[in-house]
């Protein structure tokens, strides 16, 4: 007979009890539960289905050692992530493995399945809980509509495609220049979204004719423009390419959307457009200004959605940590909610919760790797890379922030540039780009940004 693993359950609440019931219902379970750990003093000393509540989290190392515990199962679906981090750290210090029950889904439905127990993920360790939002108003935006997503193979673009697919669109046009990424997304949709019609469109947003041909062929009613060059240090050394893609690529899409009478156009922007200190941020602020000035009394409604760094997005710090030590659903939910709200000219900003320090994220990621920060892995401080800002800002000093009817979506009010002035500024910028005069282009870009901030 196979020896059962000696375990403790952290959390003597509803989730912990259901987990115990599920384990006891399986005669062939690999676990034998020797006790609960809980910080509720009233529960300590009581029993749940014959299993004692031994003590609190501060005492967990003592009980692991004295009872020769091999694994800890965390059943705390709603606590702050810092508590999960503390539990994981204590377990690692005494060589006990940790697993956790899901924090959504089965808990909400009142179901706890032993099969759902999984390893602890970075989401569990965050100091803020991930939230799922009410989508009741999104179907009317998406259902039976043809939707174009640029940058569809990227982190935000691909997640937009997945979530849009849940609301029965007529068709999703996935537009990107990245052949391999687009191919992989197509394979994923064939397997998991087989009932959703889609088309993979290889193309560059800098190619005006390709954009016009794509819109004329498919007639999308809604465009999510997520395509951009976004790597800050890389764009510092590729000024012309950043301008051509992020500014004039956006302009190409705007002009094509007007011609094809697209209903709504959502420009995905970034916190780096706020009082920008780098080329990428400057080009995104210029893109915001183009979007704001594109609105007419009739026709396509253009608006922006601005948010900060997205956990685990391509090019973010998490994949880098993964490589050194061995997907952003909430942001996309809020983009869809903002698309419902937008009537034209708005700049929406998404409240993504309390910012997380990179050093804290690094420590949590080291814990996830089964190691202890500073003991097993030293953290090296290298400072900011070229063009990077140390802190996120989602609104500039001169911008007025107002609430909207949706929680976690705010709106920025800012004056737009005179259309003639904007045309002159962009024409000068385009001329220098065509000449590949990087110095003059940078001066023209800064002039455009200065006008956008005034």
Q: Helices H, strands E: what count in the chain?
A: 17, 16
HSE (CB half, 13 Å, CA atoms) of 213?
A: 10
Query: Of 214, 211, 151, 206, which Cα lies nearest the Cα of 178?
Result: 151
Whole-number Å distance between alpha carbons of 350 and 307: 5
Rounded to an integer, what distance in angstroms lies between the CA atom of residue 205 and that of residue 176?
A: 8
d(CA 324, CA 366): 10
Cβ-count burial of 161 within 10 angstroms (0-12 exposed, 13-18 middle, 19+ buried)?
buried
Closest CA to 360 of 81, 131, 129: 81
The single residue of 17, 18, 264, 272 carrying the catalytic annotation is 272
Nearest to 335 by CA among 129, 151, 176: 151
**Cα–Cα distance for residue pair 399/325, rounded to 1 Å:** 41
Report how far apart, in Å, the C-alpha atoms of 17 and of each of 6, 26, 52 are: 17, 15, 12
Q: Which two three-digit tokens encode residue 277?
A: 């200190």
| φ, ψ for residue 236, nearest 5 deg | -60, -30
| Type and span of the H or E element at 18 | helix 14-25
Which of helix, strand or coil describes residue 131?
Answer: coil
Long-range contacts of 116-124 (CB under 8 A, 24+ apart): 117/19, 117/73, 120/74, 120/84, 120/88, 120/368, 121/368, 122/311, 122/312, 122/318, 122/361, 122/364, 122/365, 122/368, 123/81, 123/311, 124/74, 124/81, 124/84, 124/100
Give the separation between CA 97 and CA 368, rounded to whole angstroms: 11
CA distance linking residue 363 with residue 376, whole number of Å: 11
Instruction: Tell me how far the alpha carbon of residue 138 is from its chain's centroid.
Output: 18
Residue 102 and residue 75 in contact, taking contact as beta carbons nearer than 8 Å? no
Query: Would you state the structure tokens that stand for residue 149, as one six-digit string?
Result: 């997503």
Clarify whether 272 is annotated catalytic: yes
SS3 category, 331? helix
Residues 20/117, Cβ–Cβ less than 8 Å? no
Give me the count of residues in the chain. Answer: 454
Angle CA 276–315–177, to nearest 5: 95
CA distance 98 to 117: 10
What residues are labeled active site?
272
């Amino acid at each position: 007979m196979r020896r059962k693993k000696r375990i403790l359950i952290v959390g003597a609440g509803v989730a912990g009890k259901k987990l115990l019931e599920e384990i006891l219902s399986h005669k062939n379970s690999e676990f034998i539960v020797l006790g609960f750990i809980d910080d509720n003093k009233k529960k300590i000393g009581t029993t749940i289905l014959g299993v004692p509540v031994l003590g609190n989290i501060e005492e967990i190392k003592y009980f692991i050692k004295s009872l020769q515990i091999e694994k800890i199962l965390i059943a705390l679906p709603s606590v702050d992530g810092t508590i999960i981090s503390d539990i994981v750290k204590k377990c690692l210090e005494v060589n006990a493995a940790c697993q956790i029950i899901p924090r959504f889904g089965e808990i909400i439905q009142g179901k706890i399945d032993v099969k759902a127990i999984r390893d602890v993920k970075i989401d569990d360790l965050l100091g803020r809980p991930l939230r799922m939002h009410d989508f009741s108003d999104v179907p009317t935006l998406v259902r039976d509509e043809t939707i174009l997503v640029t940058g569809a193979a990227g982190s935000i673009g691909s997640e937009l495609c997945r979530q849009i697919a849940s609301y029965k669109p007529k068709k999703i046009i996935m537009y990107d220049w990245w052949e391999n990424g687009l191919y992989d997304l197509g394979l994923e949709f064939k397997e998991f979204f087989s009932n959703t019609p889609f088309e993979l469109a290889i193309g560059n947003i800098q190619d005006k004719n390709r954009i016009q041909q794509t819109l004329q062929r498919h007639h999308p009613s809604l465009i999510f423009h997520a395509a951009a060059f976004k790597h800050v240090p890389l764009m510092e050394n590729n000024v012309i390419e950043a301008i051509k893609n992020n500014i004039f690529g956006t302009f190409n899409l705007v002009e094509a959307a007007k011609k094809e009478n697209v209903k709504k156009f959502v420009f995905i922007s970034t916190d780096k457009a706020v009082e920008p200190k780098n080329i990428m941020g400057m080009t995104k602020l210029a893109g915001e200004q183009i979007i704001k000035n594109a609105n007419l009394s009739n026709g396509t409604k253009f608006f922006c959605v601005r948010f900060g760094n997205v956990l685990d997005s391509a090019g973010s710090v998490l994949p880098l940590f993964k490589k050194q030590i061995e997907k952003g659903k909430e942001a996309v939910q809020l983009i869809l909610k903002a698309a419902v709200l937008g009537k034209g000219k708005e700049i929406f900003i998404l409240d993504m919760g309390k910012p997380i320090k990179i050093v804290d994220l690094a420590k949590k990621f080291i814990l996830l790797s089964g190691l202890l920060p500073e003991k097993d892995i030293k953290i090296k401080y290298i400072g900011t890379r070229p063009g990077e800002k140390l802190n996120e800002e989602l609104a500039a000093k001169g911008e007025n922030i107002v609430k909207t009817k949706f929680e976690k979506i705010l709106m920025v009010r800012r004056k737009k540039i005179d259309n003639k002035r904007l045309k002159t500024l962009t024409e000068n910028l385009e001329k220098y780009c065509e000449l590949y005069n990087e110095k003059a282009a940078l001066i023209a870009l800064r002039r455009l940004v200065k006008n956008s901030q005034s």
